[in-house]
Structures are given as C-alpha cells and as structure tokens.
Structure 1
Amino acid sequence: MTAREPRIPGPDHPITVEKTGQRVIARVGGHVIADSSRALTLREANYPPVQYIPIEDVDRTLLAASTAQTYCPYKGDASYYSITLADGDLADVVWSYREPYDSVAAIADHVAFYTDRVDVAVGD
C-alpha cells in the first residue's frame, strides 16, 4: 500500500480510546470468540463506540486471516479476519490496525468485530 498522510483527530472529528472497565464477550451463536477484561472503547465522531479486544483474549483458532484491507485516514490500514466455525464461516467480520497511527496507538494488538454479525456484550 502507498503511504498516506494521516489526519489528526480534533474538534471536527474527535477520537478517544479508553479502558472499557468491564468484561467484554464476543460470541457467534454459542461460540465464545473473545472474552476480555482488558478491552478498550474507541469513540470516533458520531459513530457508535467500538470495543477493541486484545488479540491475546481472542480464540485465534477460530480466526483465518483475510486478504481484505481498508484504510482510515485517522487510524491507518486495517487488516481483516474471518471467523471459521464448523457450521460455516463469517467472512471479514474481525479487523485490526496492526500499526495504527500515533493518535490511536493504544489499539495496536487489538481486534474489533462487526456487531451486526458478531454479538459483542459489555458487562458481566
């Protein structure tokens, strides 16, 4: 990918990253994909908050790296994973910023899930 000029969050496009402070569990059907007490909540502009879970707290045996990539001028290049289960795959429902821009550096080594396909519950 070509180098891009990062945009800095500010009043017109705020981004915050904070410790969630509660247990976060990601499930597909009866399968627990991730279970963490160390998640981070990323709030960006007017988008819904996103839970970023440390990759160490994810069942990586259920993830398959994808060739899909996207770019965010505020966060950087995102890489994707599919969730592979015995009853079928969910393509490109997990993403990670492996080398996020400095303004969101805390989300490195974390993954997030598309909540329309993966149930992400916050709290016990």
Structure 2
Amino acid sequence: MSERQVLQPTAEHPITVTPTDGRVVVRIGGTVVAETDAALSLRESTYPVVQYVPFAAVDQTVLRRSDTTTYCPFKGEANYFDVTVAGTTVEDAIWTYEQPYEAVGAIAGHVAFYAEKADVAVGPSS
C-alpha cells in the first residue's frame, strides 16, 4: 500500500476550527440526538461550515459504529456511525476523526453530522 498524502491547510485551501457561537441542536427524524454549547465550527475552503459536536454530547444509545472509513489528506482517517431513532436507521449519519492531523487537532473527540441526513441547527446559547 502506498503512503497516504498528508496536506497542510494553505491560503488556497484554508481550514479553520473555532468555537461555535451558540447552541447546536441536532435532530434526526425529529428526535434530538445531540445538544451542546461546546461545538466547533470547521471552515474548509469553499465548503459549507461543518459543526463538530463533542462525542459526549451525542445520545450514545442511538449510535452504532459502522464499517465505513474514508480518508481526507487534510484531516486524516474518518470513522462513521449509524444512528437509529424511532426504529429507523440512518446509515453513516455521523463521521469522526478519532486521530485528526495536527492542523485540525481540535476536532478530536468530536463528531459531525451529514446535513442531508440530520437537521443541524445553531441557535442562541442556553
């Protein structure tokens, strides 16, 4: 197997991780599966901002680790979780970088939800 390419953020492909200003509430199928005032906003190049929620803020009873993995040369290897609510399973709804590269090290211990699989809302802090 060849070595995986590791890239650093640049002016042409910037990545920033900052505390989210507000409370993040994540719903799947109308059910709240995560809620926190301690989310992180990851901005990468021209992509939409992604909210990274502390893993501990996610309802652990709805999670099942999937076999899916992907690789990002800027962030590292991602692992995925399925979410089951009200008897319905949403496959690979969550991804996490358990050992992210140093440039985005702050997202360790956090998970992100696919916008098309979950309703991720940012509102005023409680």
Change (3 A) 1:74 1:38: same
- CA displacement at 1:5 relative to structure 2: 3.2
Report the TM-score, using the length of structure 1 for normalisation. 0.95
Counterpart CA distance in 2 for 1:2 and 1:22 is 42
Query: Partner of 1:86 in structure 2?
Result: 86
Counterpart CA distance in 2 for 1:110 and 1:8 is 20
CA offsets, 1:39-93, max 9 Å, x none? 0000000000000000011101101000000000000000000001233100001
Query: Partner of 2:61 in structure 1?
Result: 61
- CA displacement at 1:3 relative to structure 2: 4.9
How many equivalent pairs are there? 124
Q: Which amino acid is 2:115 matched to?
A: T
Gaps of 5+ in 1: none
Q: What does 1:96-107 correspond to in 2, within 5 Å?
A: 96-107=96-107
1:15 aligns with 2:15: yes
Counterpart CA distance in 2 for 1:84 and 1:3 is 36
Identity %: 49
CA offsets, 1:83-118, max 9 Å, x none? 012331000010000000000000000000001110
Which range is displaced more, 103-112 or 82-91?
A: 82-91
Change (3 A) 1:2 1:78: farther
Q: Which amino acid is 2:98 matched to?
A: R
Counterpart CA distance in 2 for 1:28 and 1:35 is 12
Report the TM-score, using the length of structure 2 for normalisation. 0.94
Residues 29 and 85, structure 2, Cα contact 8 Å, conserved in 1: no
Could you say what the CA RMSD is over the residues aligned between the two structures, in angstroms? 1.3
1:122 aligns with 2:89: no
Q: What does 1:4-83 correspond to in 2, within 5 Å?
A: 4-83=4-83
- CA displacement at 1:12 relative to structure 2: 1.2
